[in-house]
A and B are shown apart, each in its own frame.
Chain A
């Protein structure tokens, strides 16, 4: 089974500054037949369900602000918030959907410094 590990567990960033979250999978999630990385990113605010931000490692979901971007391939991935806004305070999860069992990272809590 794939294990997904995020770093850091939490970070505090000043408004307008960049936030970077890393995600590492224990196995390659790049599917060679279609060259897609089966890796997504979710945002979860307190008391709310997760919201899909990024899929295929770098494709932004419809309606997601362009300050959110995803990158990486294979086993190493990054979510970047280019200019942190107050409404971005949340826990962020990366998610491997390469095959069952699905796996989620442990989450990264983003706060305002």
Chain B
């Protein structure tokens, strides 16, 4: 059974950093590209970042470019999102999701982890 389990969320102050993790089981992690999508409380979905199966290519939304870094460790079947210089508008549930290749949609999402940025 496919499982994606996010962790690392919490309450942080503006300007600080946080690292999210996503542990994958039930599929061959290294064969899939991965993505982070966030959802502010009561709002819609916003794509944050994606990474290819090998990790050689990464992509970012303009709203997080230069502040967030996506990475993966295929030996640990894990995806990460390093978030620096956090802002109040980064407050959201962060979902990790898998997709097979570029040009395909995410076909399975984790339950998400809540990040709250507040002073």
Task: Determine whether the beta carbon of A106 is less than 8 Å from that of B105.
Answer: no
Q: Give CA–CA (A102, B48) in the complex, Å.
A: 9
- By the criterion of a CB under 8 Å from any partner CB, how many residues of chain A are at the interface? 24
Task: Determine whether the beta carbon of B47 is less than 8 Å from that of A102.
Answer: yes
Within the complex, the shortest CB–CB distance from B116 to chain A, in Å, comes to 17
Instruction: Check A97/B105 contact, CB under 8 A, given A50-B45, A103-B47, A104-B44.
Output: yes
Indicate if A17 sits at the interface (CB-CB under 8 A). no
Task: Determine whether the beta carbon of B112 is less than 8 Å from that of A49.
Answer: yes
Q: Which residues of B contact A106 (CB under 8 A)?
A: 44
- By the criterion of a CB under 8 Å from any partner CB, how many residues of chain B are at the interface? 24
Q: Which residues of A contact B112 (CB under 8 A)?
A: 49
Task: Determine whether the beta carbon of A55 is less than 8 Å from that of B104.
Answer: yes
Q: Give CA–CA (A42, B103) in the complex, Å.
A: 16
Q: Which residues of B contact A97 (CB under 8 A)?
A: 99, 103-105
Within the complex, the shortest CB–CB distance from B2 to chain A, in Å, comes to 12
Q: Which residues of B contact A100 (CB under 8 A)?
A: 47, 50, 59
Task: Determine whether the beta carbon of B95 is less than 8 Å from that of A52.
Answer: no
Q: Which residue of A lies closest to B102 (CB)?
A: A99
Indicate if A95 sits at the interface (CB-CB under 8 A). yes
Q: Which residue of A lies closest to B61 (CB)?
A: A101
